[in-house]
């Protein structure tokens, strides 16, 4: 397994809309394994392939305290199960160091493929529901900062660009 580079906002590649996976094979399974390695290494709870500059519909998640409940979703599709919205302070490995409150449906159903190419459905609530919606947004070229005010988004962008300039 390998730790992959994570793209950081405002990198325009984060805005690329991911394409559906057409074939589940060993190469895709290796990508999933590398994404888990990358997510755990960065102390994240979710990662979309878009964030590692692979524009396929693949996400990995582990919201467990012990980091021992890895979940992966290939070609995920979401269906809200409620109109109730949950407010949650979201962060993102592609927007390091920033957290903002975002409202999302509190319960969702996800339909996806597993690493063997088999279809499955899962009902999610709480942090898992929030995380899965956040990661599916990445596959559509959206970031959590798109759910906040333009003023806050511009401030975050300027601060990240300043940090990136000092690293270069």
Q: Which residues are catalytic?
A: 135
92 is in an annotated binding site: yes
Between CA 133 and CA 34 the distance in angstroms is 21
- 3-class DSSP state of 15: helix
28 cis-preceded (ω within 30 degrees of 0)? no
Between CA 11 and CA 32 the distance in angstroms is 22
CB atoms within 10 A of CB 116: 8
134 is in an annotated binding site: yes
* Region of residue 19 (left: phi > 0; alpha: psi -120 to 50; beta: else): beta
Q: What residues have CB less than 8 Å from 144, skipping those under 6 apart?
A: 90, 91, 92, 95, 100, 102, 134, 137
124 is in an annotated binding site: no
Report the number of secondary-structure helices (H) and strands (E) in the chain.
Answer: 3, 7
Instruction: List the structure tokens of 134.
Output: 């956040």
Point out the annotated binding site for Fe cation.
92, 134, 138
């Amino acid at each position: 397994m390998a730790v992959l580079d994570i793209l950081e906002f405002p990198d325009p590649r984060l805005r690329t809309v991911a394409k559906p996976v057409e074939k589940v094979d060993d190469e895709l399974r290796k990508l999933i394994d590398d994404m888990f390695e990358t997510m755990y290494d960065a102390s994240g709870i979710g990662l979309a392939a878009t964030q590692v500059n692979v524009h396929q519909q693949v996400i990995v998640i582990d919201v467990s305290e012990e980091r021992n409940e890895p979940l992966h979703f290939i070609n995920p599709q979401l269906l809200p199960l409620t109109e109730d919205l949950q407010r949650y302070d979201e962060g993102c490995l592609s927007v390091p160091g920033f957290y903002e409150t975002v409202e999302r449906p509190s319960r969702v159903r996800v339909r996806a493929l597993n690493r063997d190419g088999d279809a499955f459905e899962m009902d999610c609530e709480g942090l898992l529901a929030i995380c899965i919606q956040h990661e599916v947004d990445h596959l559509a070229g959206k970031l959590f900062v798109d759910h906040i005010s333009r003023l806050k988004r511009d401030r975050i962008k300027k601060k990240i660009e300043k940090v990136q300039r000092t690293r270069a």
